[in-house]
Structures are given as structure tokens and as C-alpha cells.
């Protein structure tokens, strides 16, 4: 099952958010978050929706990277999140997660295989479509457990 179908099935609110999977390549996941269903009265993207995009980019990245590493059956839980909103978002947005440092990822996989539980910090960000400057920066602590 592809990630978009999985998200829409397992977290029904993602359908209301209009969340889509835009691309997954070279260790980089991009989710689409449209303005219309997430707009506020200032015609910008609601901060709570931006958080949902940010946290799901990290969740989705971890889900896909684990499958590529041959790991199945773990449960991913968000434990802690920190979000900053340097710029308003006045159009559709992309929520992006890029791979963490290879050494961090290897340590995470080793801990998981040895103990059945591991934690990793992932950084994600959102950009308004057509812009380059991140409008939102997020770091999340994700726990994988059996």
C-alpha cells in the first residue's frame, strides 16, 4: 500500500487536510498540504495544519526508510515536537523531510535491531509552493517500538 493510501486510511483527518504524497526519492519525502481546506481568516495556512504536515513528513519518512531497510512491523510514535513559524504561508505548501546524518540513522537501526525500541530526531520543514525560504521548521522525537 502506498504512503498516501496508508495515511488516508489510518489517520482519516489527513483526508480533511487534503494531504498528498508528492515525491519520495533519494531519501527525501515531500508531502503536499493545500491552502483551501487549511485556511484561516487571514488567508494563510492554519498553524495547526502546518504542524500536521510537519509531523507527518517525519512519520512518513521514517515509515518509508524503514521499509527500504527491510524493517517491518514496528510502531512509530511521536514523543516530542518543536515547531517554529518564521513566515506565514499564503498558498499551497510542501512539507519536506530529508534523511538525517547516516551515522544517526545507522545507530537508530542498530538500536532497534538489538533492543526492539529506538528513538530518532528528525527535522522537517515547510515551504510555500514556488518559494525557497522555509516558512516552518520542525524537529520531532520519534520512537519506534514493537
Q: Does 5 bind its own copies (CB under 8 A)?
A: no
* Site size for its own copies (CB under 8 A): 31
How is the chain split among helix, strand and coil, in percent rounded to 5? 35, 35, 30
Contacting its own copies (CB under 8 A), which of 72, 75, 114, 146? 75
Contacting its own copies (CB under 8 A), which of 22, 71, 77, 104? 77
- CB neighbours of 140 closer than 8 A, spacing ≥ 6? 54, 55, 58, 78, 79, 80, 81, 82, 121, 122, 124
- State the minimum distance, in angstroms, from the CB of residue 83 to its own copies: 5
- State the minimum distance, in angstroms, from the CB of residue 80 to its own copies: 5
Place of cell 527525501: 28
Q: Does 49 bind its own copies (CB under 8 A)?
A: yes
Q: Which residues would be at the binding site for its own copies (CB under 8 A)?
A: 9-13, 16-17, 37-42, 46-49, 51-52, 55-56, 75, 77-85
Amino acid at each position: 500500500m502506498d504512503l498516501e493510501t496508508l495515511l488516508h486510511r489510518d489517520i482519516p483527518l489527513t483526508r480533511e487536510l487534503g494531504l498528498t504524497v508528492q515525491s519520495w526519492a533519494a531519501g527525501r519525502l515531500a508531502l503536499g498540504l493545500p491552502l483551501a481546506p487549511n485556511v484561516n481568516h487571514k488567508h494563510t495556512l492554519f498553524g495547526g495544519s502546518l504542524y500536521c504536515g510537519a509531523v507527518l513528513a517525519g512519520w512518513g519518512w521514517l515509515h518509508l526508510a524503514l521499509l527500504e531497510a527491510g524493517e517491518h512491523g514496528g510502531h512509530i510514535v511521536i514523543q516530542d515536537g518543536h515547531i517554529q513559524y518564521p513566515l506565514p504561508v499564503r498558498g499551497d505548501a510542501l512539507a519536506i523531510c530529508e534523511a538525517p546524518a547516516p551515522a544517526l540513522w545507522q545507530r537508530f537501526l542498530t538500536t532497534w535491531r538489538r533492543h526492539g525500541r529506538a528513538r530518532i530526531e528528525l527535522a522537517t520543514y515547510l515551504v510555500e509552493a514556488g518559494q525557497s525560504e522555509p516558512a516552518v521548521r520542525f524537529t520531532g522525537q520519534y520512537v519506534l517500538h514493537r
